[in-house]
Structure 1
Amino acid sequence: MLSPGDLLLVILTAAGCTAGVTLLAFVALRLNRRGTIGVQIRIVVAAVAASITLSTAAIAAEMYFSEHDFQLLLWIVGIAAVMSLGAAWLLARTARRAARALSDSARRLGEGDVVDAAPVAWREFAEVSTQLADASERLAAARAEIERLDASRRQFFVWISHDLRTPLSGMRALAEALEAGVVDDPEDYLRRIRAQVESMNRLVDDLFELSKIDSGMLRLHRESVVLLDIVSDAASDVQQLAAERGVRITHAGVEGHVLWADAHELSRVVTNLLGNAIRHAPEGSEILISASRGDDERLVLSVLDHGSGVASEDLGRMFEIGWRADAARTTDAASGAAGAGLGLAIVRGIARAHGGDVHAEHVPEGFRLNVVLPLTIPTPTPTRE
């Protein structure tokens, strides 16, 4: 058994040798702080092996081992140190491969590629690789959505410019004809100019309404609203357009429903829905407005026409700003439908401002638009689209 003096000597020798090697390793790491992870691992393992070897040799020399035993001990410790350094080299090589795989994934992610999770050995690196793969998929989806919205926005401005230019060109031609005095019925020309002005006014009003919705500046003035009054007024507003196409407007189940809503905005919703249905319903057909109360204290207001509607893949897009099913866009001055694709976008914005929503569906009778509205003021909750 070691005496206290021998034990103290062993401790001091081992501590001194280890401290010296550790200091050298720290300096080496400091000088190589921007080096690769492989070099860092080799320095640390080499320091561990060197401190053990040096401490063992120093203690063996102090304990007066025989020369044979001392050489044998050095060989054993030296072989262990070399094997440790070899293991450190393999470990550093594996770490370098994993780091390169992550670096390559990050580079491709920055270039916009979708990357797959790299098959790295270490769990921490594998988790980072999986997160990079997930992030690349989300970024790719976000870029595709941004590109789609940007293309839609550019097309929207093209359509708006066209829809504003058309009535302006018409008014200019009519005014020039009046100014030249070559018209037989000036009153008719004035009526046509007035119709063009009203069409532009409706378009500008829709743009202003949509800007308030998108900017969150739409303020609802809620009151007790009788649904039948809203439907009747909206039907009267579009009666002339319906008569021109021979379309009849009827309602069922609308009576007896009272909403706590903004009467003006709700009337705009119903008017836009009816205008959309009239433009797409077959001539001589019928449009049905119905309402039903759900079990969740919500009212479903539906407008059904007997047209073919839109393709199933476009059901979710038809409420986007500027979307139109028909690329051949024409201005309908009589209806005020300037073709800009604002009506249904406004319907969705107003419905959501009330705490509801809107959706479309194909039914055996034709095509139906449903606006879901709460019967009472919903509890406000933060939402993100």
Structure 2
Amino acid sequence: MKDLTTIFGLTLGACLVVGLIGAWLLHLVRRRSLRYQLTIATLVPVVAVAATVFINVRLMFLSPHDSAVVLVALLTSLAVAVLAAWLVMRRIIEASMQVGAGLHQLVQDSQPSAAGSHRSDEGVARELPQELASVVADLAEARQTLAESRARERAAEQARRELVSFMSHDLRTPLAGLRALSEGLEDGVIADVPRALSHLRGTVSRMTGLVDDLFALSRVQGEPTIKEQKLVSLTEVITDVATESAATAAARDVRIDLEVPADDRLAVLGAPDDLARALANLVSNAVRH
């Protein structure tokens, strides 16, 4: 019983000493590489066991041969433990570096990941421990989601630019017509003033509708609204469009000849503003090109 008490006391003392030394070493390397901290944490229990066995063997007064055998076994086990700890730490450090590379790529990557990159991420994940493999998989998914989000943002920006370009094109022709009519009224060269004023009012109404459509488009969420359709006189629409485009055509030495049946309104079913806008674009493109 006394021997067991002695062995227990020696074992406890050796473990406490080794544990305190290990804690002190961990404190010293707390800001160093994780490799050192994990290596120390792995070796502390192994060294504690080796120190306990060594002390107890020395106090048992064994023969030199038996003591040498025990010491060789302890040194061999300690060397194997150090090698195993180093291999495990190297594996963990490499895995953590791969996770860090994934984080860096998540920040830097702005292009949608290709299928080859996705397969590479899967291959890397299969080579990692389960916990880190899960982190790498989550990072790959986040990178893909971020790339798709950035692609949608670029597409939305491109659509916005195209919309501004189209709206500018749609406004250019009626504005030129309004300017020509206003200058004609100011100079007194237009004989049919009521008709010119009516045309001005119609043009302003179409431009107002165009601006309203743009405002509604900026607020709409879901399906686009369907405009009310009614009978529209193509004769009146094309006459207004020709009047609006006359100034632009004259500036380019282009003559617009309009031939419509005098006794036929050419009524069609549609949205007046949209029809006028489409015909104005056709005439404007014809004049420009």
The question of a shared fold, defined as TM-score above 0.5 by the shorter chain, is answered with: yes
Distance 2:10 2:177 in 1: 102
Q: 1:190 aligns with which of 197, 200, 205?
A: 197
Q: TM-score, normalised by structure 1?
A: 0.55
Residue identity opposite 1:35 in structure 2: R
SS at match of 1:240: strand
Residue identity opposite 2:7 in structure 1: V
Matched, 1:146 2:153: yes
Q: Which residue of 1 aligns with 2:277?
A: 331
Structure with greater proportional helix content? 2
Distance 1:192 1:247, change over 3 A: closer
Q: Which residue of 1 aligns with 2:24?
A: 27
Contact 1:166–1:331 (CA<8 Å) still a contact in 2? no
Q: TM-score, normalised by structure 2?
A: 0.72
Cα deviations by residue, 1:291-310 (Å, 9 ceiling, x for unpaired): xxxxxxxxxxxxxxxxxxxx
Q: Which residue of 2 aligns with 1:14?
A: 11
Residue identity opposite 2:231 in structure 1: Q
Residue identity opposite 1:28 in structure 2: L
Matched, 1:240 2:240: no
Matched, 1:136 2:143: yes
Contact 2:184–2:190 (CA<8 Å) still a contact in 1? yes
Distance 1:247 1:24, change over 3 A: farther
SS at match of 1:182: coil
Matched, 1:53 2:50: yes
Residue identity opposite 2:143 in structure 1: S
Q: 1:90 aligns with which of 87, 92, 100?
A: 87
Q: Which residue of 2 aligns with 1:78?
A: 75
Distance 1:85 1:30, change over 3 A: same
Distance 2:92 2:208 in 1: 68
Distance 1:247 1:64 in 2: 121
Contact 2:232–2:267 (CA<8 Å) still a contact in 1? no
Q: Which residue of 1 aligns with 2:259?
A: none
Distance 2:103 2:233 in 1: 59
Contact 1:106–1:132 (CA<8 Å) still a contact in 2? yes
Contact 1:22–1:47 (CA<8 Å) still a contact in 2? yes
Distance 1:207 1:46, change over 3 A: same
Distance 2:36 2:267 in 1: 82
SS at match of 1:239: strand
Distance 1:247 1:29 in 2: 90
**Could you say what the CA RMSD is over the residues aligned between the two structures, in angstroms?**
3.0
Q: Which residue of 2 aligns with 1:267?
A: none
SS at match of 2:52: helix
Distance 1:168 1:242 in 2: 21
Distance 1:42 1:150, change over 3 A: same
Distance 2:45 2:267 in 1: 91
Q: Which residue of 2 aligns with 1:326?
A: none
SS at match of 2:175: helix
Matched, 1:167 2:174: yes
Shift of 1:80: 0.2
Shift of 1:211: 4.3
Cα deviations by residue, 1:5-54 (Å, 9 ceiling, x for unpaired): 22222222212211221222222222222333322222122222211111
Which consecutive aligned stretches of 4+ in structure 1 deviate over 4 angstroms post-superposition? 241-249
Contact 2:34–2:93 (CA<8 Å) still a contact in 1? yes
Shift of 1:103: 1.8
Contact 1:195–1:333 (CA<8 Å) still a contact in 2? no
Cα deviations by residue, 1:94-137 (Å, 9 ceiling, x for unpaired): 11221222222222221115353224231111111111111121
Distance 1:18 1:206, change over 3 A: same
Contact 1:196–1:333 (CA<8 Å) still a contact in 2? no
Distance 2:278 2:181 in 1: 17
Distance 1:246 1:25 in 2: 97
Contact 1:41–1:92 (CA<8 Å) still a contact in 2? yes
Residue identity opposite 1:83 in structure 2: V
Q: 1:109 aligns with which of 103, 106, 115?
A: 106
Structure with greater proportional strand content? 1
Q: Which runs of 5+ in 2 are unaligned?
A: 238-264, 281-289
What is the 5 A alignment of 1:149-228?
149-213=156-220
Cα deviations by residue, 1:343-376 (Å, 9 ceiling, x for unpaired): xxxxxxxxxxxxxxxxxxxxxxxxxxxxxxxxxx
Distance 2:217 2:165 in 1: 17
Shift of 1:180: 0.7
Contact 2:233–2:268 (CA<8 Å) still a contact in 1? no
